[in-house]
Amino acid sequence: MRGWAARCRLRKVVLSVIPDCRDASASLQFDSHGMHHLYLIGNMGSGKTTVGKRIADSLCLPFYDMDALLEQASGQTIPEIFARHGEARFRELESVLLQEIAPRPAGVVATGGGVVLSESNRVLMRQSGWMVYLKASPDTLWQRLQRAQNRPLLHTPNPRETLEAIVRAREPLYQEADWVVEVDALSPAQAAQAVQCAYRPTPDAPLKVSVLPDQPQGYLIYIAPALRTRAASLILQQRRFTRVALLTHPPLLHWAEPIRAQFDESDTPVQILRLRSGERMKSLRSAARLYEQLLQAGLDRSGLLIVLGGGVLGDLGGFVAATYMRGIPYVQIPTTLLAEVDSSVGGKVAVDLPQGKNLVGAFHQPALVLIDPELLQTLPARHWRNGFSEMLKYGIALHRGLWRRLQTMLQQGALTARRVRKDPAEWTLPIAQCVRLKAQIVSEDERDLSGKRALLNFGHTVGHALEAALGYRGWLHGEAVAVGMIAEAELGRILGITPDIVAQELRETVAQAGLPTQLPSGINAETLLNAMRHDKKRAGDSLSVVLPTDIGNARLEPNIPLSAMQEALKRCGAS
């Protein structure tokens, strides 16, 4: 098989395997911008073919088994291709086949284990679908593969050691996936269901993320479009409550009233509390007013507070729940992108003081978090960019794959300086990935004691100082964090910690998202430094700042010289 002849034959084989149900894919609510395939990636023996067939049958989608298609196209088995032409030729054919599959109708693709070795393959899969990694331990893989005769890479003097070396080498590439499903303890049916919940979550089968698992304060986060339609039933599955107070903003009553009706059907009385929006409402004065309203509503410790709103309302409502009658349960139903990806998760609740943000607060984990991307439909484009800034933070500081996914979304026009595509199918899994990353860090460092949770503060040292300097007016939180990330990356460059290419890529991506890369005019560096001295993240008299070391990696750097920070601020426009 050479050149054009190989490509033509592969194309013919791909066309011949599209099943009769292919037209049904049009009804699956996939967006029209190429984000449709489900690519299953993972090591040999992880179950990609078995799981993929089950999902394709369940969703009535075409199933593309890349190894089987290559064998059909070449008229040779995979071991024969390796033996006659070598691995390099096999990888070339694999890439050609992937290029033929990518534009085909939405389907489930069981890839070969080494498809991720090519960066161009990873880019193509990201451009045309979602990558889900079926992760199996070396022990599980060896148990499944030790008697297999059709795995040419294991034809070595010590196949077990070879397998373990392959697993180690490929793990960072697999981790670039949009989602990871650990399959060691799962049956094929269970693995297929877990993948399907990530690829196409529904209110009846939502994607679930666990926070603080196996701990008394642990809870679940449910993620799915239209999840609000099951809010009451999901909440009441946790426990029965004598009374419920639902805190929201007046413009969100059209979301709140149907939820109240759901509770009415279960004979649970609900009192709706209304509060104006804005960072200035996140104060002790607002908290005191809410205490009075909760008392008037007759809410006691057997009651529940539901917070339906954005990050400011979530912080305030969580603080009220943490302190009212020494603590009552609360549920977060975030309605902004910023709240869905960040502030609704982790149990950090607080109010502001004039000297700075979140200076009075507590750790109080919610009983449940319900994330419904359809609640974002009426969100203005500026507020989408506000939340996207926090998503970029997760990518650049914690996860290379998420960073590349977000860049792909920008390249494909999901969000621009002027508009945003609000299709939940395009946003649900990236939102879930941010939630998973935060849940993992919170589970490892709930109370911010080990320094792990501090990684979530990338961009926030400068961002919070800027918000305080502006009196919490004019700029949104994510906008301040965006320029904060640029400034802190510049700080990393000055200190020799952040590579130039990383800082430049960050700046370009932030600008592409329509977010600011320069401080507003008239901001003085000394004013920002004074605000940083009141930041709750400081350690004594020294400044600690999170600095990126690579795409997807960052570290907390203590004892930052104020002169270096001042220079970084000036590079971003401070006077």
526: domain CATH number? Answer: 1.20.1090.10
Residues 194 and 211 in one domain: no
CA atoms of 84 and 76, how far apart (whole Å) = 10
In a domain, 403, yes or no: no
CA atoms of 505 and 550, how far apart (whole Å) = 11
Handedness of CA 24, 27, 29, 32 (dihedral sign): positive
How distant, in Å, are the alpha carbons of 114, 176, 311, 389, 477 from that of 339?
37, 24, 5, 12, 11
Q: Which of 92-106, 174-188, 486-500, 524-538 has the lowest mean pLDDT?
A: 524-538
- For residue 368, pLDDT over 50 is answered with yes
Domain that holds residue 548: 424-571
The closest of 510, 279, 535 to 393, measured between CA atoms, is 510
pLDDT at 40: 98
Domain count, the chain: 3
pLDDT at 542: 74
pLDDT at 185: 97
- CATH code of the domain covering residue 72: 3.40.50.300
- For residue 199, pLDDT over 80 is answered with yes
CA atoms of 487 and 531, how far apart (whole Å) = 15
pLDDT at 150: 86
- For residue 31, pLDDT over 70 is answered with no
Residues 181 and 246 in one domain: no
The closest of 192, 195, 193, 169 to 180, measured between CA atoms, is 195
The closest of 190, 191, 92, 209 to 133, measured between CA atoms, is 191
pLDDT at 221: 98
Domain end call among 137, 168, 199 = 199
Q: What is the mean pLDDT of residues 360-373?
A: 97
Q: What is the mean pLDDT of residues 407-430?
A: 95
Residues 253 and 129 in one domain: no
Q: Sort 214 into a burial class: Cβ within 10 Å, 0-12 / 13-18 / 19+.
A: exposed
The answer to whether 209 touches 221, Cβ cutoff 8 Å, is yes
Strand pairing class (108-110; 63-65):
parallel
Which range is most confident: 68-82, 144-158, 543-557? 543-557
Residues 303 and 352 in one domain: yes
In a domain, 464, yes or no: yes
Q: Sort 501 into a burial class: Cβ within 10 Å, 0-12 / 13-18 / 19+.
A: exposed
Q: Which residues pair with 556 in a beta bridge?
A: 546
Q: What is the mean pLDDT of residues 441-453?
A: 89
- For residue 463, pLDDT over 90 is answered with yes
Q: Write the CB contacts of 545 (distance below 8 Å, at least 6 apart in sequence).
A: 461, 488, 491, 556, 557, 560, 565
Domain end call among 177, 199, 221 = 199
Residues 188 and 233 in one domain: no
Instruction: Please give the mean pLDDT across all residues of the chain.
Output: 92
- For residue 454, pLDDT over 50 is answered with yes
The closest of 388, 432, 425, 429 to 410, measured between CA atoms, is 388
Residues 34 and 176 in one domain: yes
H/E segment holding residue 70: helix 66-74
Q: Which of 7-21, 258-272, 487-501 has the lowest mean pLDDT?
A: 7-21
Tokens standing for residue 562: 């104020």
Confidence bin at 238 (pLDDT 50/70/90): confident
**What is Dmax (Cα atoms) for the chain?**
81
pLDDT tens for residues 317-345? 999 999 999 999 999 999 999 999 999 99
Residues 444 and 559 in one domain: yes
CA atoms of 472 and 351, how far apart (whole Å) = 13
Residues 224 and 131 in one domain: no
Q: Write the CB contacts of 410 (distance below 8 Å, at least 6 apart in sequence).
A: 416, 509, 512, 513
Residues 331 and 429 in one domain: no
Residues 174 and 221 in one domain: no
- The conformational region for residue 527 under phi > 0 = left, psi -120 to 50 = alpha, else beta, is alpha
pLDDT at 448: 84
DSSP code string of 453-479: GGGGGTTHHHHHHHHHHTTT-SS-HHH
Q: 506-512: long-range contacts (C-beta < 8 A, 24 or more apart)?
A: 506/392, 506/396, 506/548, 509/392, 509/406, 509/407, 509/410, 510/389, 510/392, 510/482, 510/485, 510/486, 512/410
Question: What's the first-to-final CA gap in the chain, in angstroms?
Answer: 65
Residue 391, SS3 per DSSP: helix
- For residues 450 and 191, the model is more confident at 191
CA atoms of 349 and 339, how far apart (whole Å) = 12
In a domain, 186, yes or no: yes
Residues 230 and 147 in one domain: no
Residues 167 and 223 in one domain: no
